[in-house]
Amino acid sequence: MPRVYLPIRAIAAGLVTTALLLATACGRQAAVAPATPAKPRSAAPSMPNSSGPPNQQKLHAAADAIERLGASQPDSFTGLVIDSPGDRVIVYRKPRSAFDAALARLRTGVRIDERDAPRSIGELATTRNHVTALMGHTTGYTIVSVGDGSVASYTAGVVEVGVTGNLPRAKKELSARFGDEVAVAAGEPAVG
């Protein structure tokens, strides 16, 4: 599910990674085996000298519960943001009484702010899939990125499309095909 994290989360994850690398470099081994989590996570359980917010685990648990609810109602849910400094989860959704009532019944123990979104995650996924199918099949420009997991895509209800080459042509052609469901901008070619 789309989830956007505010910079504090990236900083905390960077600090944890740095600490683990330093411990390994000093001949110590990390307490956990290396693994690639399914979702990006910041610091695991709060440590006594942790610089993360004290409510971080509760915020993550709430976000996970909201994502499960959103997966069951993709015609309403759009995405969410964990706002650690604000000690809340911001939920973007198409207003529908059934989803809003189910969200209220979750009783997560954290503040949940609801924000209206013009399109649901299901609608964004359909557009994203159609744009992705065009990759490698355009003339005069190349689609290098397709995404819909940012606050900008949630609030505007658009799939963000990055292109190289003839940007005016890409904007014209993709807007003619997808209307206001896409936001086309210059992108960076993939490295690798």
The count of residues in the chain is: 192
User: Pick from 66, 94, 116: which residue ends a domain?
Assistant: 116
103-106, long-range: CB < 8 A, 24+ apart? 103/66, 103/69, 106/62, 106/65, 106/66, 106/69
192 — pLDDT class (breaks 50, 70, 90): low
Please tell me the predicted confidence (pLDDT) of residue 30. 28
35, with CB counted inside 10 A (0-12, 13-18, 19+), is exposed
Kindly state whether residues 143 and 175 are assigned to the same domain.
Answer: yes
Q: What is the largest CA-CA distance in the chain?
A: 59
The tokens of 72 are what? 């069951």
Asked if residues 174 and 149 have their Cβ atoms less than 8 Å apart, the reply is: no
Count of domains for the chain: 2
Residue 13 has pLDDT above 80, yes or no: no
Please tell me the predicted confidence (pLDDT) of residue 31. 26
Asked if residues 186 and 160 have their Cβ atoms less than 8 Å apart, the reply is: no
Domain extent for 17: 3-116
Rounded CA-CA distance 100/88 in Å is 17
Q: What is the pLDDT of residues 46-82, one digit of tens each?
A: 344 445 567 899 999 999 999 999 999 999 999 999 9
Higher pLDDT residue, 3 or 79?
A: 79
10 — pLDDT class (breaks 50, 70, 90): very low
Q: What is the pLDDT of residues 121-140, one digit of tens each?
A: 999 999 999 999 999 999 99
Kindly state whether residues 166 and 75 are assigned to the same domain.
Answer: no
Please tell me the predicted confidence (pLDDT) of residue 52. 59
Kindly state whether residues 154 and 100 are assigned to the same domain.
Answer: no
Rounded CA-CA distance 164/52 in Å is 39
Q: Could you give the angle at which helices 97-105 and 56-72 cross, rounded to 10 degrees? A: 150
User: Pick from 68, 87, 116: which residue ends a domain?
Assistant: 116
15 within domain boundaries: yes
Higher pLDDT residue, 13 or 101?
A: 101
Q: What is the pLDDT of residues 103-112, one digit of tens each?
A: 999 999 999 9
Percent of the chain at pLDDT exceeding 70 = 71
Residue 87 has pLDDT above 60, yes or no: yes
Kindly state whether residues 106 and 161 are assigned to the same domain.
Answer: no
> Among 38-52, 84-98, 167-181, where is mean pLDDT lowest?
38-52
Kindly state whether residues 129 and 109 are assigned to the same domain.
Answer: no
191 within domain boundaries: no
